[in-house]
Amino acid sequence: MNSNIAADTLQTAVDTLKHAGGNDSGWILHHIMDGRELDFMPFGTIHIPQFPLLFGIDITPTKHVIFMWLAALLVLITFIVVARSYKKSLVPKGISNFFEVLIVFVRDEIAKQTIGKGYEGFVPFLLSLFFFILFGNFIGLVPWSSTFTSNIAATAGLAIISFFAIQIGGIKQNGFLGYFKGLIPHGIPAGFIPLMALVEFLGLFTKPFALCIRLFANMIAGHTVIFALLGLIFFMGSAFVGIVAVPFALFIYLLEILVALIQAYIFTILTSLFIGMAVHQEH
């Protein structure tokens, strides 16, 4: 099944290359970056209808927004199905069994291990984060789709949500003043307290920034490499280049399947770790 999807994706890439003219590297950004149209080459392009302005703001969805909605809808539908299956039988079967493994993994190996006492309250948030990113990453591997997690605005939005979850968790556990007071390590000489306070305050923002850039960079890199490899066929003007380029592109595509899972895991476990550090400052 994966090989069939990979073949379809590579064929879509080739069709896009032909449509773009082959010798202009701008087609790579055109395929990866956000836009106001959905490409279904060689069948055609669907232009997203312009929405009326709302208080002077353009609210027309872009293709990344559309696939973001699709990912959220798929997550919702999936877990409605899983929840209903548990009402029928406490013994999971089929798709319910598969997702139970992932749910238990996030609960026991991520939340419980990194947050510790009181981890239960953060499990629903971490599960939502994990599966939303996971579905978004995998949707981007389907032919004619788009990877919204390669959009820095989308990853920044996820990082901002994580930032507020971290701060709310820390303040709820330690109190407003106690939380910010606890950011400064004990035993620091009085003269260094202002400097350490500034460093720790900046550290609150560098953590979500790292989450944002890590997910964005890893997801956009794989797609760029795939199209760059396929582009060699047209840039060199020789079909013989495809003997090397296509197998390498297929390998990178299969590697992207693993990266999609790993990046969802990394974003979730780092968020959970930062929450644990905020909640249990004494550690």
> What would the 3-class secondary structure string for 174-195 be?
HCHHHHHHCCCCCCCCHHHHHH
Which has the higher per-residue pLDDT, 176 or 25?
176
How far apart, in whole angstroms, are the C-alpha atoms of residue 60 and residue 50? 6
The predicted pLDDT at position 168 comes to 93
pLDDT at position 20 over 50: no
Q: What is the pLDDT of residue 22?
A: 46
Q: Which of 32-41, 71-80, 82-91 has the highest mean pLDDT?
A: 71-80
82-91, 132-141, 216-225, range with greatest mean pLDDT: 132-141
Structural domain containing residue 275: 2-279
Number of compact structural domains in the chain: 1
Separation CA 246–CA 226 (nearest Å): 9
Confidence class for position 23, pLDDT limits 50, 70, 90: very low
- pLDDT category at 282 given cuts 50, 70, 90 is low
| pLDDT at residue 138 greater than cutoff 90 | yes
Q: 152-174 and 242-279 are packed helices; what angle lies between their axes, rounded to 10 degrees? A: 20
DSSP summary character for residue 37: E
Which one has a higher pLDDT value, 195 or 20? 195
Q: Is the pLDDT of residue 135 over 50?
A: yes
Residues 137-144 have a mean pLDDT of 87
Query: What mean pLDDT do residues 15-34 have?
Result: 58
* Mean pLDDT to the nearest integer, 208-216: 93
Is residue 129 scored above 60 in pLDDT? Answer: yes
Name the token pair of 63.
């293709």
Claim: this prediction has a pTM higher than 0.75: yes
